Structure formats: structure tokens, C-alpha cells
Chain A
């Protein structure tokens, strides 16, 4: 706490209007049994509230924490294990990672290594303290189940900065150590079960935010503050009205919020009516943070500049130190330890009186015991710990020799008379709570209390203000000031307050236990008088211990060099004095009533002295012994030998014996003390061991919680697995390293007929239905050795032998990647093998079909613009393959004509949008230059995201040619038929002209058509074999009219072309008809000779000779149509006809053929 904070708090209260939804960070501290409590608490948390949670759980540093994982199942909040550096965000839970100390700065989490050994770590305190400093009154702390007291110190910090503190109710906590320790501070705001914690927080913050923005409340508190102080003044006897207002308002406001009251008036009522609340408020107002060696640097300066010189300067005078506002005593003990240590270093033994005062008797009570939570031990520098602390169960204590240096007492620095002649006043962080008026009153009080050149040690944010005339700065930074020589007055404000108040505890209270050797009179004159003129005097305690003396005592006491502490008057007294002294000391003396013993005589080694002894008992039950000489000193003469006085020597021997006994007792006590010290130290060791064990135990119990969660998950996973094993139809068996069966599924029973007891038996002992049983086992061994997966095919041994399995052997790996057996998984391949065989056959067929039909297969990859071709397609396209059977589309295209190219590109492009097959035809020149026509059929296929055109290509050159021929033939046929019609039409008309009657015309037509038909038959018969011979034509023409026997038909083989055939047939028919009508084949007797020859130039000369038996007259009828026909036919044959008629014969000669010149 410092002044700057106070001021900024005031500011933030005003600025709080914009902070209504500000992030509030809740620190959660837990240890053993905390997991459950954290879970219960966070289960209730609302992710949409403005709270963030930081969980500080004692964790085993060597064990990875599952806390985040476990918690995230229990809460709707996001749970993260902190990794350092993250900014805390609302609605999230951050978990401390194991083995780290976590702090927070500017709402960012920071991880550091622990500085302390295990057992002394207090991560909860560390975090809470940083949280308090970082977040001020937006910080909250929750302390849950756990042993020890971690968190209690942090809680105090949270409270000091205005935060709120909630503790799990001890009866709901599995371990109530931490909650109870927290409650023991008296600073806890709420005690709740884990489920209720969230709503308490929520309620508090809602109220806080509401009242934050409500300056009215603050005003109201301000208005009521004097009345509240009055109430406090009557109940506690302390006046807070001059304390700093902001602190008062803030702390009262907090109480109002905690009590959930509406306004300041009702709180005032509450304080008036409820003394307990007044007590609570009193404590609340006194909250401050103190710790051992707070601000170690400043203490180090103090040691250097003040304590070390003070000890070296002092010889016998006691050191007097005042610690006002000591609270729970840490500051006072710190000084005591420092001084004790410094004395040890300087090998000095001085009396030290530290007056530690406070107004809170509760705190003082705690302080007196010198017992502190173990967690505070880290503040004590390590080198001092062993000597100045004693570890006890969860606590440590300051040893008695240090405690004895300190007097704790109730004292109000603002009201009660101060201590005096102090060497040092250490008043840290008290003035900051005071208002100006109080501060101005207190500093002169300090000046008064200090001896000249005494020191004042203030807190790091405190100053001497305007009192620089009273103090000079020794070390400004360390806040060490020195009193000036200036004379001082008793503080005026205290004078007026002397009466009418409670009995103040001031300098008049016994200051010393009496080891002081200061003279009775401080003045030198008095000294002189006392030592020289006054009677010899001894001031001794009730037991005879000499406290001080004056005057010459050599005549009454004997000097015993040696033990300085054995300064008891009865031991030192000379004979004659000792006896009355013993009586006097044993008597109960009434203070103030002096006694005198007269006529005493002390006898020393050198002489005797007569004297009276006055005994003056004082109020503090000490005595003053005054020796008054009654006669002159009588020296002993040598011959004056003392008589044996049995009575005296008896007493003396008794005393001697007593002394011996005392000495033995002393030795024994010493030994006992040593033994005790040893026991103590071994006890301390035990305690620290116990502490370590306890923290180990806490860590273990956390681990245990985590493990049980893990076990739960494992059980679940195991159940899942066994369900899988039970339900799957995958044949599977797991074997261990010795190939013994570990697990198997039901489905494996087809292969290995396992029985219930087979688990654990070697796999080799089981008779499997596999043919390759031994090879399977070998492979398993191999897999386990190599650690590599193996796949093999195995067959069943069963009679049909049809089942085929694919066996996958994988190494069974443990979490640490060790091979611990193998897993055998079988997959039924029977069906797929059969399918594959069927596919093979099908593929073979297809291949054959493709081959026979000369179909080439092509595949166009649209993405790569490449065509894949098979062997046949390559041949068809005569393509030069680039690589792997593919060819660029552009390369093929370049060999096509433009129109074909366009067509194909169009087809390829459009096919992408349609589904149906397409086809196109194109021509390519092959290597020989011959054009080939190819047809391609294809369709659009999409496989695996890529677009492909797939199809076949085949050679249609021959088919095309055949089509062309057929068309040609058809045209020819058509032509011929039309020709035939023309011929018949012509024939009809010609015959019509000639015939005299219809029957005759019909006959004529018949004959001629028949002749044409017969000659046409010739062309059919001879088709494709050999040429039509002239003889055949002649035979056909004569066939209806004569037997071949009657005629001589002779000539060489002369072939007749188709073009010649019709004309020749017509011509021969005319001749044959004529001959049968009018000639030798008809009415005229005679014979027919038909001969022909062929010249070298191809000219054929055909003679048709009718040789008459009798003389025959020339006929004219032969002219006319027939003759015209013959002439024209001859002309058609490119030939000529010559008729030579005699009475004996009629020679008709036809010359036709190439060499012949027609007319």
C-alpha cells in the first residue's frame, strides 16, 4: 500500500462509470482435494460474465497435469493451461502449469521458476499478491480445499488493495487446512460451499459495479464518516477520525458491499447496534501488509548505516528501539533478527530493547507468540533462517532469545506518551494511513522519543514532510532519517490528553528486566557524590543479584575475578555480612519500610570493619543496601590467628556445599539445555521433513485425482474397444511377442477355431484352416523383428478351398513405440479374386474384339491437351509417340484440314456439356501418302475430378471406297436401265414401223428382247471370269433357229467387250432372223457358215455365209428396217457391213474393231 495507490484509487472510482463491464480476475487457490472443489465451483460459472479465473493448484512438478483436460469437461468456460504471456480474457479459465510460479502483470500471466525448494513454495500467495497489485479492487481470491496455509498471506494482499476474498466452507472441503488458515486471518468476506462461490462473486461484482458508478454512496459515506468514527471510538477506544479519508471511505464502502446494504445510513445503524460489526470494521481499517524484511534493500541500508555502527559504538548501554504500529510483529522481529545477527558478527553482547506497539491487541497477541505460517519463511533471508527460525507443524516460530528482545504492548502513537531515549524508531507504512493532522502530530512525537542523533526509519513512500528541522536525511532512498541536536519539547498534544483516557502504556512501565547497569544518578556530580562522599550502597534484586552499586565496597564484599554473571551479593559478602544478608533476603519486606541492622562487623583478609546496614526495599521489590561505617578499619595482625568457630564454619561449609550443588545443577541444566537444543533441532528437521512430505502428499492427492479421472476415461475407452471387438466382423487376432494369443474377434473363429481358454496359448498350437499356416507364423516373427507391415494372401485348407484371405500383419506398438506383439487382420478376398478373374476374362474378350475389329482406343485428357493411344489407334493415326503412348492434340490436329480441325475442336468442346456419345470422321495421309479415312466415336467421361474424352477410332477407308463403288454401280445400273427402256422404246417403235400386224409386232419384239436377254445372260455368266467370246455371242444368236450341227461356226477366240455386246447381239439377231425367215435356216435349202478372224490391228472380220443348195434368186425384201438396224449397229461397233449376194450364196461380212475405219 502506498499513497500513489490511494490517489489512483480515487481516480478509478470516478472513472468506473466506463468500467461497468470491466474484466475482474478471480484467483483460485487449491491444494489437496481441490480438483473436486474447483470443478464444482466452475460448473456454476457463467461464460458470459465479466469474470476470468486463474487456478493455482499445487501440482507435482515432475508430472504432467491433466487438470485442464479434466476441468474442461466440467465447465462451460474455456479452460487453458497457461503457457505464459497470455492476456487474461473473460470467460476463460487459466491453469498453472506444473513446476512453475505464476504471477500477473498488466493482466498478462507470467511464468517463472520457483526460487524456493519444494515444500517452501507458496504459489498461491505469490499469485494472489501479484494479482492484488495488478488488479486492485477488481481482484478476487478464492481459497479452496488444501492443507497448510498457502493463500493466507496472499489473501491479505488482496484485501489490502480492496479486493474480495471468498473461502470454501471448511465442512465442505476435503482438507480444511487452507480454508481454516484463511479464516484465521479474520479478513475473509464470504465463506461458501464451492457451488455457491460463483453467485457470491457475481453478486459482489454486480453490487460493486453498481455502487462504483454511484458516487452518491461515497458521498453518503463521507457524510457519515465522523459518526462512524465516533462509534468506533467508543467501542474500541481509538479515534480514526484523523485517518486518511480515502482509505476510510473505501474500507467502509467495502463493508457496505459485503453486507449488501443499501446506503451509509443503514451501515451506521448496523455499526451502532452491532458491536461485532464495529470490531470487524476496526480490524478492516487496520488491515495492512507487513512481512519479514519487507523491502529488503532498505533493510540492508538500515543495517549498514544504522545498526552496524550502533552496535560497534555501544559498549554497555542497552539498545532501545521503538516500532510503533507493529501489527503482527514481522517488522519488530526483522529488526531483532538483524541486530542479533549483527551482534554475532561483531562478537558483542548488548542489551536490546525493542518496544513494539500497536492498538490492535488481537494482532499483538499473535505477535507475541512469534508464530507465523511457514509460507512467510521465504521472506527471511536464507542465511538467517537456520539460526532465527524454528520450524513447527505448518508454522515456524521465532526463537525465544529473539522474542525476549521485544516487548509488545498496546500503545496508541497518536495519543499515548511516547517511549524515550530510543536509538531507532522504525515506523513503516503507518503514516500513510494518517491524515495530515495526525502526521504532523506524530513526527514531533518521534523526535521526542529519539535520543539525540537517534534514527527514524520510515516506509518507502513516507516522508518527514515539513519537519526537516527535526530530522535530516541519512539515506533518502531508504527513508532513513536522523534526529537533529535541536532540543525537544514534550509533544503538546499529548499533554492535554494525559488525563481522562485509558491507562496509557508508556515509558513508566517497567522498561527493563533489570540487567541495566546504569548509575542511579545520571549526573556526574551525583556520581561524584555517590562514589566519594555518600555511604557505600548496593542496589540489588530480591534474589540478591547486584543491579548497581556506588561507593567503595571493598570492605564488605570480596572481589571474585571470573564469572561476571555470578554477581550475587550474598556470594560476595565478607564474613560478618553474609549471615545477616541471608536473613534479610529471605524475609518478605514491605516496600518503603526501611530497616537497620546495627553493630555488624565484616571480616576480610586484611582487616575488619564495624558498620550498620540499612535495608531499603523499593516498590519493584528490589533492595537498596546502605553501609554506614561505625569505626575505623582495623587491619589484621599476622599473629592474630582466628579461632576456630564451629558455628561459623558449619554455615560456611553448608554454603560451600550449596554452591557445589548449585554448580552441579547448573552443569546438569546446561547439559539438559544442550540436549534440549539438539532435540529441538532434530524436531525442526522433522518438521521441515514433515512439511515436504505434506506437500508431496498434496501433490500426490492431486495426481491421484487426475489418475482416477484418467482411469475413468480408460475404462470408457476399454469398453468401446471391447464393444468394437464384439461387434466387428473383421477377423482379427492380436498376439504378444511370444506369439501367444492376446485378443481376437468372433469373426476369426472361421480361421482359427479358438476356444475360451485359448487366450494366452501360442498361436502355433492352434490348428488353423489355412494352408500356409507355418508361413503365417514365420511372417509374424519377421514383422515383430523388422517392425514393418506385411501383407500376404492365404487360402483356406477346406475341401472346397474356395476362400482366399488377404492377411495384414502389423506390429503391435506400445505408447513408447516398442513392438510388443503383432496384429493379424484378415480380409476376405474370395469374392474380389473371383471378380478379378471374371474381369480378366472380360478384358481379354474386349481386347480380342478390339483387335479383330481393328478398333483403336484413344483417351483425350482435356486438362493436359494430350491424347493417349493404344497400339491399334497409333497405327491408324500413324502417330509418332512422344512418350508413354500419348501425343499432343495439336500435333495430330496439324495434320488435318481446317474444316476437320474445326469440327473436332467443336465436338471436343461441346461434348463437355453433354452426356451422349459423339462421332466424327476425318482423313489423314499415311506414311505412303495414301489418304485414309478414319472414324472416331467417343464420349465424355469424368473420373476423379478430371475431364476425359474416351473413345475408339477405326479405319473406314475401304468401307468408304465400297460405298463409292456401290453408288457408282447404282448410277450405272440406273443408266443402263434407262438405256434399256430407251432401247425397248426404240425397238418398239422400230418394230412397229416394220410389222404389218400386231401379232407380228409382238413376235418381233419377243424375238429381239429375247435375243437381248440372252446376250445379257452371257454377261452374267461370264462375269468376273473371262471375257465373252465371239463364238458365244454367235451361239446365243443362233440358238432359237438351228442346231449347231447344221452350221459351221468357226473362228479364233475373239473377246467381245460389253460395249460391243448389245450391238453385236442385235446385229447377229437380225442376221439370224433374216436367215431363218428368208434364208437357209428357213425356207431355203442350204447351210450356214459363220467364220471370223482377227487381224493384227485388232480388226475383226466376221463372215455370215448362206450357202444355197439350189440356185436362188436375189431378194429385195431384205432391205428396209433390218438393213438400217444392221447399218447402225455396225456403226456402233465402229465397223461396216458388206453384203455379197449371189445365186449360190449370200455372204455378209462385218468388219469392226480398232483397226477398222468406219465411213
Chain B
């Protein structure tokens, strides 16, 4: 399995690391491909809060996280909280209504409603990138 992942990692240029929290296998795979296409290194795909939290605890902290709200074992918010502590950029990706509310709790996070497109994700990342770049010129 590591071999498989490596193959993708190799293909990706080093734009940053990303984790994906998604309980739907096909969607997770799709997202993985998209991020790889966008030049990110996918350092983990987690179907559950438990597995994601474990990874973060183990220091697997990415630059960016794409979070489906509902995971197999509950809402993704503990993960989001943990990531927020590490100032990780977050994009919520959910079919649930009320993403606006989510963005209230996490003002810095952005949203991509399901089903999303590659362009949308790209635009959202770009938006995050602008935010990120603001302090850079100084």
C-alpha cells in the first residue's frame, strides 16, 4: 500500500501537505487525485474522527485539511478544533446544509459544498493562498 501512495507522492510537486477526512471511499479517492493534481501532498485520508485524531496526535499535521463534516463516528469538529490549534487551513466539504454556521465557529475556514468540482477546490485554495500570502511580502 505504501508503494501505491508513494507513486502518487512522487508525482506531486511540493506545494504543501494535505489531509482529507472523508468517509466515502470513492469521494476520498477523487479528492486525493484532485489535490495531487493541484500539487499537494496527501499525507492522510481518514474516514473517522478517531483515525484522524490519532494521526494528528502522532504529529501528522498538514498545511491544509479538507474536512467532510459527517464522518463514520460522528462530526468532524474535534478534528477541526485540533487542526485549528495548529493553524492549519481548513476547507469544509459537506453535503449538509448549514456550512455557514460552521464558518461562524471557524471564521478562517472556507467551505466547498458537496458535490464539488476541481475548479471550485482550486479557487478555494487560491482564496486561502491569498490569505496566506498577505503577511509574506512583509
Query: Using a CB–CB distance below 8 Å, which chain A residues touch chain B?
Result: 974-975, 977-979, 981-987, 989-990, 993, 1059, 1062-1063, 1066-1067, 1119, 1121, 1123-1125, 1127-1129, 1131-1134, 1136-1137, 1158-1159
| In contact, B25 and A1128 (Cβ under 8 angstroms) | yes
| In contact, A1124 and B118 (Cβ under 8 angstroms) | no
Report the Cα distance A1061→B25, complex, angstroms.
Answer: 11
| In contact, B114 and A979 (Cβ under 8 angstroms) | yes
| In contact, B115 and A985 (Cβ under 8 angstroms) | yes
Report the Cα distance A984→B24, complex, angstroms.
Answer: 11
Report the Cα distance A1131→B1, complex, angstroms.
Answer: 11
Report the Cα distance A1→B8, complex, angstroms.
Answer: 156
| In contact, A1128 and B45 (Cβ under 8 angstroms) | yes
| In contact, A983 and B26 (Cβ under 8 angstroms) | yes
Q: Give 7 closest A-B pairs by Cβ, nearest first.
A: A986-B30, A978-B95, A1129-B25, A982-B115, A985-B115, A981-B115, A1132-B25
Q: A975-B70, A989-B30, A1131-B45 are in contact. List 7 more A-B contacts (CB 8 A).
A: A986-B24, A986-B115, A990-B30, A1125-B26, A1128-B26, A1128-B45, A1132-B28
Q: Is B29 an interface residue (CB 8 A)?
A: yes
Report the Cα distance A981→B113, complex, angstroms.
Answer: 11
A1005 CB, nearest partner CB in chain B, Å = 12
Question: In chain B between 1 and 33, which residues have their CB closer than 8 angstroms to a CB of chain A?
Answer: 1, 4-5, 7-8, 23-33
A982 CB, nearest partner CB in chain B, Å = 4
Report the Cα distance A1124→B51, complex, angstroms.
Answer: 19
Q: Which of A987, A1158, A1159 contacts B30 (CB 8 A)?
A: A987
Given contacts A1124-B29, A1124-B32, contact A1062 B24 (CB under 8 A): yes
Q: Which residue of A lies closest to B3 (CB)?
A: A1119
Residues in A whose Cβ lies below 8 Å from that of B27: 979, 982-983, 985-986
Q: Which of B8, B34, B70, B95 contacts A1124 (CB 8 A)?
A: B8
Q: Is B103 an interface residue (CB 8 A)?
A: no
Q: Which of A974, A975, A1062, A1128 contacts B29 (CB 8 A)?
A: A1128
User: For the side of the interface on B, what is the size category?
Assistant: 20 to 34
| In contact, B51 and A1158 (Cβ under 8 angstroms) | yes
Residues in A whose Cβ lies below 8 Å from that of B7: 1119
Given contacts A982-B27, A982-B114, A1062-B24, contact A1131 B95 (CB under 8 A): no
| In contact, B24 and A982 (Cβ under 8 angstroms) | yes
| In contact, A978 and B114 (Cβ under 8 angstroms) | yes
Report the Cα distance A989→B118, complex, angstroms.
Answer: 9
Report the Cα distance A1062→B28, complex, angstroms.
Answer: 13
Q: Which of A989, A1059, A1062, A1159 contacts B1 (CB 8 A)?
A: A1159
Max chain A Cβ within 10 angstroms of own Cβ: one of B28, B30, B45, B115: B30
Q: How many A-B residue pairs have CB under 8 A?
A: 101
| In contact, A1132 and B30 (Cβ under 8 angstroms) | no
Report the Cα distance A1103→B18, complex, angstroms.
Answer: 33
Q: Is B96 an interface residue (CB 8 A)?
A: yes
Report the Cα distance A1137→B2, complex, angstroms.
Answer: 11
Given contacts A975-B96, A1059-B72, contact A1132 B23 (CB under 8 A): yes
A1016 CB, nearest partner CB in chain B, Å = 14
Report the Cα distance A1059→B51, complex, angstroms.
Answer: 16
A1060 CB, nearest partner CB in chain B, Å = 9
Q: Is B47 an interface residue (CB 8 A)?
A: yes
Residues in B whose Cβ lies below 8 Å from that of A1129: 25
Q: Which residue of A lies closest to B29 (CB)?
A: A1128
Given contacts A982-B114, A993-B33, contact A1124 B26 (CB under 8 A): no
Residues in B whose Cβ lies below 8 Å from that of A1059: 23, 72
A995 CB, nearest partner CB in chain B, Å = 14
| In contact, B25 and A974 (Cβ under 8 angstroms) | no
B114 CB, nearest partner CB in chain A, Å = 5
Report the Cα distance A990→B8, complex, angstroms.
Answer: 14
Residues in A whose Cβ lies below 8 Å from that of B8: 1124
Report the Cα distance A287→B120, complex, angstroms.
Answer: 142
| In contact, B115 and A1063 (Cβ under 8 angstroms) | no
| In contact, B25 and A1062 (Cβ under 8 angstroms) | yes
| In contact, B1 and A1127 (Cβ under 8 angstroms) | yes
| In contact, B45 and A979 (Cβ under 8 angstroms) | no
Q: Provide the B45-57 mask, 1 if CB < 8 A to any CB of A, else 0.
A: 1111001000000
| In contact, A986 and B95 (Cβ under 8 angstroms) | no
Residues in A whose Cβ lies below 8 Å from that of B34: 989
Max chain B Cβ within 10 angstroms of own Cβ: one of A979, A987, A1129: A979
| In contact, B47 and A1131 (Cβ under 8 angstroms) | yes
Report the Cα distance A1129→B72, complex, angstroms.
Answer: 13
Report the Cα distance A983→B96, complex, angstroms.
Answer: 15
Report the Cα distance A699→B28, complex, angstroms.
Answer: 132
Report the Cα distance A1134→B30, complex, angstroms.
Answer: 18
Residues in A whose Cβ lies below 8 Å from that of B70: 975
Residues in B whose Cβ lies below 8 Å from that of A1127: 1, 4-5
Q: List 18 A-B contacts (CB under 8 A).
A: A974-B97, A975-B96, A978-B95, A981-B114, A982-B27, A982-B114, A983-B26, A985-B30, A986-B31, A989-B33, A990-B30, A993-B33, A1066-B26, A1123-B4, A1128-B45, A1132-B28, A1133-B47, A1134-B47
Q: Which residue of B lies closest to A1057 (CB)?
A: B72
B43 CB, nearest partner CB in chain A, Å = 13
Given contacts A1059-B23, A1137-B1, contact A1128 B28 (CB under 8 A): yes
Max chain A Cβ within 10 angstroms of own Cβ: one of B70, B115, B116: B115
A373 CB, nearest partner CB in chain B, Å = 126
Report the Cα distance A1066→B95, complex, angstroms.
Answer: 21
Residues in B whose Cβ lies below 8 Å from that of A1119: 4, 7
B52 CB, nearest partner CB in chain A, Å = 11
Residues in B whose Cβ lies below 8 Å from that of A1125: 25-26, 29
| In contact, B95 and A982 (Cβ under 8 angstroms) | yes
Question: In chain B between 87 and 107, which residues have their CB closer than 8 angstroms to a CB of chain A?
Answer: 95-97
Residues in A whose Cβ lies below 8 Å from that of B4: 1119, 1123-1124, 1127
B48 CB, nearest partner CB in chain A, Å = 7
Residues in B whose Cβ lies below 8 Å from that of A975: 70, 95-96
Report the Cα distance A757→B50, complex, angstroms.
Answer: 114
A988 CB, nearest partner CB in chain B, Å = 8
Report the Cα distance A987→B31, complex, angstroms.
Answer: 11
Residues in A whose Cβ lies below 8 Å from that of B48: 1134
Report the Cα distance A550→B48, complex, angstroms.
Answer: 186
Report the Cα distance A1063→B46, complex, angstroms.
Answer: 13
Report the Cα distance A993→B115, complex, angstroms.
Answer: 18
Residues in A whose Cβ lies below 8 Å from that of B46: 1131
Report the Cα distance A1129→B27, complex, angstroms.
Answer: 10
| In contact, A986 and B29 (Cβ under 8 angstroms) | yes
Residues in B whose Cβ lies below 8 Å from that of A984: 115
| In contact, B26 and A987 (Cβ under 8 angstroms) | yes
Residues in A whose Cβ lies below 8 Å from that of B5: 1127
Report the Cα distance A975→B70, complex, angstroms.
Answer: 10
B57 CB, nearest partner CB in chain A, Å = 15
Q: Which of A977, A985, A1063 contacts B25 (CB 8 A)?
A: A1063
| In contact, B25 and A1134 (Cβ under 8 angstroms) | no
Residues in B whose Cβ lies below 8 Å from that of A1121: 29
B93 CB, nearest partner CB in chain A, Å = 9
Max chain A Cβ within 10 angstroms of own Cβ: one of B29, B31, B96, B117: B29
| In contact, A990 and B47 (Cβ under 8 angstroms) | no
Report the Cα distance A429→B17, complex, angstroms.
Answer: 155
A1102 CB, nearest partner CB in chain B, Å = 16
Report the Cα distance A990→B36, complex, angstroms.
Answer: 13
Q: Which residue of A lies closest to B72 (CB)?
A: A1059
Given contacts A975-B95, A975-B96, contact A983 B24 (CB under 8 A): yes
A376 CB, nearest partner CB in chain B, Å = 126
Report the Cα distance A209→B16, complex, angstroms.
Answer: 135
Q: Provide the B111-138 mask, 1 if CB < 8 A to any CB of A, else 0.
A: 0001111100000000000000000000
Q: Which residue of A lies closest to B30 (CB)?
A: A986
Report the Cα distance A1137→B117, complex, angstroms.
Answer: 29
Question: In chain B between 58 and 73, which residues have their CB closer than 8 angstroms to a CB of chain A?
Answer: 70, 72
Residues in A whose Cβ lies below 8 Å from that of B45: 1128, 1131
A968 CB, nearest partner CB in chain B, Å = 13
Q: Which residue of A lies closest to B46 (CB)?
A: A1131
